[in-house]
Structure 1
């Protein structure tokens, strides 16, 4: 796929559309700013009476350095969730086009499509949570294929060697969106380095997980410039609040990235220990491998979820998802939280065995 095909897949009305020209995108130089209908009164320190940059320079530069891409290949958004919707709004004509998802997977792909009146084509994962071997032949004309890797909620993973042939085969017909929200926990799986080679590849990222900034709502779309420029026509005029950009930029410095890596190493160790401890409990049917900061566990019934709630431990019940009956998803918490969790699970197991 070339950038010309990106334009071919884009909604036709978008191609001729001039994006909203906000005061910051138009720019200008001077020491008296009277072009954005802002208040002249700076009541905070630092001052927030002015609109932020459309795409804050420091944030884009720091993330492009971290992801080893160029600034032109990076778009900052309000979490990866906004990037999902941006892609659907950019490429899919409401009431006409579709996206493809591989279930079970992250629920926002389908919800974002539904809110845009875009159809969802579902190709279930195999029993071992691999992609359907015939996936590329089952897209039914979808313009976007969403693949979450590591996958939420299963934690299952795909290697670049498994994903690249799919991207290559679809290079003339479909944009492949690889959602790497959890990639810091399995960095060897990243597809970002292949973006330059495959213009139909989009990678989604977030600072919510490994960077411990979920409250900021800051994510990124990584893609070739043709796709980024189209998305810039759709995104809001000022998508990244100034405080968000300041905090996120600081966390993306060399020192901030090092802290993140240390936290990831600790969480991966805690996950391995938790998996070992919970696997031996009676009533645990399966503890699934995970490349993320959570572990999916299948129990013999729903009493485990209820008992955990009574003990004040909140986990994600996935039983309403097809093929995930009696499955609970456990985020990896702090050492003290995981200690209390395993002690509670051990107690529940004893009570059920009695």
Structure 2
């Protein structure tokens, strides 16, 4: 990237953080030695620690994991920030780019709530551009998003694609066009937490031409490692350096890193791809079956591992599922979703249980 590209992107960072060095932890310094006495760690292992390795602080950005993830996502390790799920990256972006009370964040409700939570915690103005409910499903109004971002002098625009909870996606050419319109004004962050379930390519491929695009990815969904809490932000290397300075010293526990490395080996990735194909087939079958049920008003098309469903009586549907031991996400408090539930795609047996519970409520009625 050219120097001008770096400068235009770094101009979006808070003025007081542009030269911020952050905390220099013991593991952030490159030394070689046999006796490590620089971090006030215990010289003895905990009795529960069979390997003894957990008495040491972990690497802030584990090289092996960063390289594995960079290969998975098609970026360089320098473009990657690994942290505690996507949530940490969202929070870091808002804190690093938005001056409290001044720099706005644009979101597109109904959408993942952590964008708004991080914005509120930073006391940054929150600008909402609602998704439009159309015959094709919920879609993002890109012209309205651009206008709102420019008018509010926003520093961040969060796009969720596939969108949670609606399941819709945003075409890459629309993302690129928005980034072009907001060049020098805002960073466009594309949340691809459910990207493995989508038929669209990743927006990571746009970053070579648009420095103000960043992408969020996670191991919590398709890779089945939600408890490990490992997510990634892929962005311009200059921005990644700023965010690393703002990040807590040791964001990734060592055991979680080892679990992630094992969960990303060739055999595990092959199984993940197989399960994604199965889940997408189940998504299609469950959608077709739900549409035929009495009491179901609409099932939205989805590129995620879930379906958004409107009901004549969402309360009754929710209670019927609970009675059958099935817990789904109640979306009725979300904007435009007063009659909707979000149903994650499960195993074939679990999906059959959903259909049985909803069918039984109609028979009882």
Q: What TM-score do you get using the length of structure 1 for normalisation?
A: 0.97
Q: Which of these residues, 116, 141, 145, is aligned with residue 135 of structure 1?
A: 145
Residue 353 of structure 2 aligns with which residue? 340
Matched, 1:192 2:201: no
Residue 175 of structure 2 aligns with which residue? 163
Matched, 1:124 2:130: yes
Residue 237 of structure 1 aligns with which residue? 249
1:266-277 counterparts in 2 under 5 A? 266-277=278-289
Residue 187 of structure 1 and its aligned partner are, at CA, apart by 4.9
Tell me, which stretches of 5 or more residues in structure 2 are unaligned? none
- Looking at structure 1, the residues matched to 27 and 241 of structure 2 have their Cα atoms a distance apart, in angstroms, of 16
Q: In structure 2, the residue corresponding to 1:9 is in which secondary structure?
A: coil
Matched, 1:4 2:7: yes
1:17-96 counterparts in 2 under 5 A? 17-43=20-46, 44-46=49-51, 47-96=53-102
Aligned positions, number = 352
Q: Contact 2:94/2:122 (CA < 8 Å) preserved in 1?
A: yes
Q: In structure 2, the residue corresponding to 1:53 is in which secondary structure?
A: coil
- Identify which range, 29-38 or 9-18, moves more after superposition: 9-18
Q: Contact 2:94/2:119 (CA < 8 Å) preserved in 1?
A: yes
Q: In structure 1, the residue corresponding to 2:321 is in which secondary structure?
A: helix
- Looking at structure 2, the residues matched to 85 and 169 of structure 1 have their Cα atoms a distance apart, in angstroms, of 24
- Looking at structure 2, the residues matched to 125 and 138 of structure 1 have their Cα atoms a distance apart, in angstroms, of 13
- Looking at structure 2, the residues matched to 135 and 215 of structure 1 have their Cα atoms a distance apart, in angstroms, of 34
Q: Contact 1:14/1:233 (CA < 8 Å) preserved in 2?
A: no
Q: Which runs of 4+ in 1 moved over 6 A?
A: none
- Identify which range, 162-171 or 209-218, moves more after superposition: 162-171
Q: Which of these residues, 294, 303, 319, is aligned with residue 306 of structure 1?
A: 319
Q: Tell me the alpha carbon deviations over residues 178-230 of structure 1, each in whole angstroms, 9 at most, x when there is no partner.
A: 00000000152410111222110100000000000011100000011011011
Kindly tell me: are residues 188 and 220 of structure 1, through their superposed partners in 2, closer, same or farther at Cα, counting changes over 3 Å?
A: same
